[in-house]
Structures are given as structure tokens and as C-alpha cells.
């Protein structure tokens, strides 16, 4: 009687460990030193492209937040792509980077990492540029 129960418990614990490890692995990739270096390279290249474009309709750096728990930044340009980061009082909450494609007046982001839009994570995969005076 006890042996089947022990096997079921072991199987359950192994399954839980596998599920946790997959989520933890995705999180650690976004927060790795390699991801930071790649994001910084994207930022530098994107800033150079923005400067060269000199007034492109939507290419630029965008920030939003309260200075404490929510500080979201997005930098994007048509050729280089984008970098998205969400920082808060506990450090880096989320990061992603990848490609940008414009179609039918919308900007579509192609993500390197999974883009889970929950809690302090994620960004919409589709953006609509809106002119607001001199701002976007």
C-alpha cells in the first residue's frame, strides 16, 4: 500500500520541479548577463539608427512610470528593432528585445523571449503610433 503512494508522491514532485524549472529558466535567460549585453548592443545600435533617421515618425525612446515600482522603457527603430525593459524597486522585472515590422499603420514586435503580459511583465505585441502635438 505504501509503495504506490510513495511513487505517486515522487512522480508529482518531479513534475512540479520540471514545471518550475521551465519557468525559472525563461526568467533567468531574460535576466542573464548575456541578455543584458545583447540589450545594450540593441540600445546603442537603435539610438544610432534613430539619430540617422532624423525625425522618423515613430522611431525613438519612450518611457512611462512612477519612478518607483513601475518604470517601463521602450526604444525602437525600423531596422534595428526594439528593447523593452520594466524596472521597479526590486530591480529588473522584465526585458525583451527583437524585431520591428510596420504594417497597416501598426508596429508589430517580434520577441526574442516569451512575452507574458501578467503582473509586472510584458508589453503589447502590437502598437499604434499616435501623433500628439510634437510628441508620439
- pTM of the predicted structure, to 2 decimals: 0.77
Q: How many residues comprise the chain?
A: 136
Fold annotation for 33-127: Lipocalin (2.40.128)
Place of cell 528585445: 97
pLDDT tens digits for 42-89? 999 999 999 999 888 899 999 998 877 789 999 999 999 999 999 988
Strand order in the sheet with 60-65: 60-65, 71-77, 81-88, 91-103, 106-111, 126-127
Comparing CA positions, the residue from 96, 80, 91, 77 lying closest to residue 39 is 96
Q: What torsion do the CA atoms of 59, 64, 69, 75 make, to the nearest 10 degrees?
A: 0
Residue-range domain boundaries for the chain: 1-30, 33-127
Q: Which of 19-28, 32-41, 61-70 has the lowest mean pLDDT?
A: 19-28
Amino acid at each position: 500500500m505504501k509503495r504506490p503512494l510513495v511513487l505517486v508522491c515522487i512522480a508529482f514532485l518531479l513534475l512540479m520541479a520540471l514545471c518550475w524549472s521551465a519557468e525559472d529558466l525563461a526568467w533567468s535567460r531574460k535576466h542573464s548577463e548575456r541578455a543584458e549585453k545583447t540589450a545594450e548592443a540593441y540600445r546603442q545600435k537603435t539610438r544610432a539608427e534613430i539619430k540617422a533617421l532624423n525625425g522618423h515618425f515613430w522611431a525613438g525612446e519612450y518611457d512611462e512610470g512612477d519612478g518607483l515600482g513601475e518604470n517601463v522603457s521602450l526604444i525602437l527603430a525600423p531596422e534595428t528593432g526594439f528593447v523593452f525593459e520594466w524596472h521597479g524597486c526590486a530591480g529588473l522585472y522584465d526585458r525583451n528585445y527583437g524585431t520591428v515590422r510596420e504594417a497597416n499603420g501598426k508596429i508589430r514586435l517580434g520577441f526574442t523571449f516569451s512575452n507574458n503580459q501578467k503582473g509586472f511583465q510584458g508589453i503589447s505585441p502590437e502598437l499604434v503610433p499616435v501623433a500628439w502635438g510634437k510628441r508620439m
